[in-house]
Amino acid sequence: MKTKDPKTFFIRTYGCQMNELESEVMVGQLKRRGLKRVLDEAAADLLLYNTCSIRDLAERKVMGKLGQLGRSKMRNKLIGVTGCMAMAKKETLFKKLPHVDFVIGTNNLSELNNVLDDVIESGQQQIRTEGEYDALDYTIAEREHKLKGYVSIIRGCDKYCTYCVVPYTRGQEVSRPHEEIEREVRDMVQKGYKEVTLLGQNVNSYGKDQPQSGVLFHDLLYKLDKIEGLERVRFLTSHPIDISVELMEAVRDLRTVCEFVHFPLQAGSNRILKKMHRIYTKEQYLEKVALLRSIVPNAKLGTDIIVGFCSETDAEFEETYQLFDEIGFSVAFIFAYSPRKGTPAMRWADDVPEEVKQERLHRLLDLYEKKAAQERMGLIGSQMEVLVEGVNKNGQLKGTTRCWKNVVLDGNESLIGSLQMVDIQGFNHSTLTGIIQRPLILT
Q: How far is the CB of 53 from ligand F3S (least distance, A)?
A: 4
Tell me if 108 contacts ligand F3S by CB under 6 A.
no
Q: Which is nearer to ligand SF4, 6 or 105 (CB)?
A: 105
Among 337, 385, 419, 420, binds ligand SAH (CB under 6 A): 337
SS3 424: strand
User: With contacts defined by CB under 6 A, how many residues of the chain interact with ligand SF4?
Assistant: 10
Tell me if 164 contacts ligand SAH by CB under 6 A.
yes
List CB contacts of 377: < 8 A, sequence separation 6 or more: none
Q: How far is the CB of 52 from ligand F3S (least distance, A)?
A: 3
Nearest partner of 401 among 329, 298, 305, judged by Cα: 298
- The alpha-helical segments, DSSP class H, found in 215-265 are 217-225, 245-253
Nearest partner of 231 among 430, 13, 441, 415, judged by Cα: 441
Q: How far apart are CA 433 and CA 422, in angstroms?
A: 9
What are the φ/ψ torsions at residue 2 (nearest 5 degrees)?
-80, 150
Nearest partner of 129 among 85, 66, 65, 183, judged by Cα: 85
Helix (H) or strand (E) holding 209: none
Tell me if 357 contacts ligand SAH by CB under 6 A.
no
55 binds, among ligand SF4, ligand SAH, ligand F3S, none (CB under 5 to 8 A by kind): ligand SAH
Around Cβ 39, how many Cβ atoms within 10 Å? 8
Tell me if 197 contacts ligand SF4 by CB under 6 A.
no
Q: How far is the CB of 187 from ligand F3S (least distance, A)?
A: 25
Q: Which is nearer to ligand SAH, 82 or 201 (CB)?
A: 201
207 binds, among ligand SF4, ligand F3S, ligand SAH, none (CB under 5 to 8 A by kind): none
Q: How far is the CB of 255 from ligand SF4 (least distance, A)?
A: 29
SS3 5: coil
Phi-psi region for residue 90, left (φ > 0), alpha (ψ -120 to 50) or beta? Answer: left
What are the φ/ψ torsions at residue 341 (nearest 5 degrees)?
-55, 140
CA angle, 16 as apex, 10 and 17 as ends, to 5°?
85
Cis peptide before 343 (omega within 30 of 0): no
Q: Which is nearer to ligand F3S, 144 or 219 (CB)?
A: 144
**Binding span for ligand F3S by CB under 6 A among 26-34, 122-130, 163-171, 363-371:** 163-171
Site string for ligand SF4, 141-170 (x = CB under 6 A): ----------------x-xxx--x-xx---
- Please give the distance of CA 441 from its chain centroid, rounded to a whole number: 29
155 binds, among ligand SF4, ligand SAH, ligand F3S, none (CB under 5 to 8 A by kind): none
Around Cβ 356, how many Cβ atoms within 10 Å? 16
Q: How far apart are CA 443 and CA 239, in angstroms?
A: 36
Site string for ligand SAH, 31-70 (x = CB under 6 A): -----------------------xx---------------
Q: Which is nearer to ligand SAH, 289 or 424 (CB)?
A: 289
**Footprint of ligand SF4 on 208-247 (CB under 6 A):** 239
Tell me if 204 contacts ligand SAH by CB under 6 A.
no
Which residues lie near ligand F3S (CB under 6 A)?
15-16, 18-19, 52-54, 83-84, 165-166, 169-170
Which residues lie near ligand SF4 (CB under 6 A)?
157, 159-161, 164, 166-167, 201-202, 239
